[in-house]
Amino acid sequence: MIDFSVEPEFQAKLDWMDKFVREECETMDLLFPEQGAQFDPDYAAAKRHLKPLQEEVKKQGLWACHLGPHLGGPGYGQVKLALMNEIIGRSSWAPVVFGTAAPDTGNAEILALFGTPEQKQRYLGPLMAGEIVSCFSMTEPQGGADPDVFTCSATLEGDEWVLEGEKWFSSNAKFASFLLVLAVTDADKPLTERMSMFIVPTETPGIEIIRNVAIAGDFDPENGHHAHIRYNKVRIPYDHMLGERGDGFKVAQARLGGGRIHHAMRTVGMCNRAMDMMLERAVSRTTKGKMLGEHQMVQEKIADSIIELEQFRLLVLKTAWMIDEVEAGRLKHGAPRKHIGMCKVAMASVYANVVGKALEIHGSLGISLDMPLAKWYGGHMSLAFADGPTDAHKSQLARAYLKRAKPAEGMFPSEHIPTRTAAALARYPDARES
């Protein structure tokens, strides 16, 4: 039976988190609002404020809960993580304060799943401790959604791999201590065996950040945090492959599922905050002699947002529950994949709708940068693209269901009423006789 309830002790932790995120993490958002500031290891003022907050989170046993004990982490499972992330999602600093920020979470997951003991000690340990930041370098300038067109390659020379090619939108590369790079090692093999994953320390010679591409919401168009990188014959030690040769695609896939569902969990939190703002405004401002909330179209916006958000939240929680069921051995590996895709697809549109309606109810104030709504609204397409574009997921989902569907046997659909009625009458010829 699906059950999203938690024991009172954990509810007490959630209550503590709710207060802490509102009071401390949202304060960090105001003090250090620059995009990417959370990840900058050289931002001394921000670090000074951040460290004691992270210590407090660790003391509460709520640090880095994205990895459960089976992967060497302290986590409590995905349903509880979803409830935590709903709270964390309110603030852009909170994921870093709680040690659950992307892309480090996904990178930690694949290091835990595929890393050798030495790799875990050198890279996973400091990453989980929040001492360093990492980057996932997969997308290429000529294509992101289609790995078939990836050309960045690694060739074995003696006991080193030599990495050559370009990557695009490698988030946080400029702050990272190491990059996880997906590169073609066996060009003649089928797609799923063609690439391997490498751990590349950022101090390795030959890593050239061509530009740090900025996105909507960034302050400086020339100083974003999504790197266009050229790898110029970067020499990687032989033991820095993550997983087996040819397993890169599988390794990458293993991190993307977690990334998508964690984004969805945090999206619930951000939408909850937009919902609070929408409701507050609706009972604070009057127009044409009545409260905004007394106008029916405003009521419609509020009702639609409540329903859409509740539907999305339940989808996210069900997906989290399914992942926990896989861990418990009650569902087959891969069973939640379609649901993760559904969360990914719904996420950007729910976010756009709820934040957009909150913005609209605030009028000119909503679109101004005096409120956070306009910046959030601008970010909704990032949710649609990051971890794979929404359209590709829609297409995959539809194809998965189409595969199960059977064609109708006759000219008409199996639910054709005259055909079914004729069949029913054939079974019970006397049924209509009085």
Ligand X SMILES: Cc1cc2nc3c(=O)[nH]c(=O)nc-3n(C[C@H](O)[C@H](O)[C@H](O)COP(=O)(O)OP(=O)(O)OC[C@H]3O[C@@H](n4cnc5c(N)ncnc54)[C@H](O)[C@@H]3O)c2cc1C
| DSSP state for residue 412 in the 8-state scheme | S
- 179: which strand partners? 135, 200
- Gap between the Cα atoms of 131 and 60, Å rounded: 19
| Of the candidate residues 60, 395, 414, 421, the single one contacting ligand X (CB under 6 A) | 395
Residue 45 CA, distance from chain mean position: 28
The two tokens of residue 82 are 């979803």
- Gap between the Cα atoms of 180 and 204, Å rounded: 13
Binding part of the chain for ligand X, among 38-46, 190-198, 385-393, 412-420 by CB under 6 A, reads 385-393
Closest distance between ligand X and the C-beta of residue 162, in Å? 21
Kindly write out the interface string for residues 324-363 of this chain, putting x where it contacts ligand X by CB under 6 A and - elsewhere: ----------------------------------------
- Taking the CA atoms of residue 389, residue 395, residue 396 and residue 402 in that order, the dihedral angle to the nearest 10 degrees is 170
Q: Which is nearer to ligand X, 13 or 226 (CB)?
A: 226
| Of the candidate residues 130, 243, 356, 388, the single one contacting ligand X (CB under 6 A) | 388
198: CB partners within 8 A, 6+ apart = 154, 161, 163, 180, 181, 182, 183, 236, 240, 241, 242
| Of the candidate residues 72, 246, 378, 389, the single one contacting ligand X (CB under 6 A) | 389
Beta strands in 14-159 (DSSP E): 134-137, 153-157
| Of the candidate residues 170, 212, 267, 305, the single one contacting ligand X (CB under 6 A) | 170
| Of the candidate residues 38, 85, 171, 267, the single one contacting ligand X (CB under 6 A) | 171
Binding part of the chain for ligand X, among 26-34, 201-209, 310-318, 389-397 by CB under 6 A, reads 389-397
CB 134 within 8 A of CB 177: yes
- Gap between the Cα atoms of 424 and 358, Å rounded: 52
- Gap between the Cα atoms of 267 and 310, Å rounded: 12
Q: Which is nearer to ligand X, 4 or 385 (CB)?
A: 385
Alpha helices in 181-336 (DSSP H): 191-194, 248-282, 296-327
Backbone CA torsion sign across 34, 39, 45, 51: positive
| Of the candidate residues 204, 349, 382, 419, the single one contacting ligand X (CB under 6 A) | 382
Closest distance between ligand X and the C-beta of residue 167, in Å? 6
Burial label for 230, CB within 10 Å (0-12, 13-18, 19+), is: middle
Closest distance between ligand X and the C-beta of residue 252, in Å? 9
| Residue numbers 95-154 binding ligand X by CB under 6 A | 103, 136-139, 143-146
Q: Which is nearer to ligand X, 128 or 386 (CB)?
A: 386
Q: Which is nearer to ligand X, 116 or 177 (CB)?
A: 177
Kindly write out the interface string for residues 196-235 of this chain, putting x where it contacts ligand X by CB under 6 A and - elsewhere: -------------------x----------x---------
The DSSP H or E segment spanning 180 is: strand 178-184
Find the farthest-apart pair of alpha carbons in the chain and give their distance in angstroms, rounded.
92
Nearest to ligand X by Cβ — which residue?
Answer: 144
Closest distance between ligand X and the C-beta of residue 145, in Å? 3
| Residue numbers 39-78 binding ligand X by CB under 6 A | none
Binding part of the chain for ligand X, among 241-249, 293-301, 305-313, 391-399 by CB under 6 A, reads 391-399
Residue linked to tokens 């820095």: 240
CB 111 within 8 A of CB 123: yes
Q: Which is nearer to ligand X, 137 or 267 (CB)?
A: 137
Closest distance between ligand X and the C-beta of residue 101, in Å? 12
The two tokens of residue 229 are 């990188």
| Of the candidate residues 391, 412, 414, 420, the single one contacting ligand X (CB under 6 A) | 391
Please name which of 166, 176, 174, 167 lies closest in space to residue 224, comparing C-alpha atoms: 174
| Of the candidate residues 32, 123, 161, 169, the single one contacting ligand X (CB under 6 A) | 169
Q: Which residues bind ligand X (CB under 6 A)?
A: 103, 136-139, 143-146, 169-171, 215, 226, 382, 385-386, 388-389, 391-392, 395
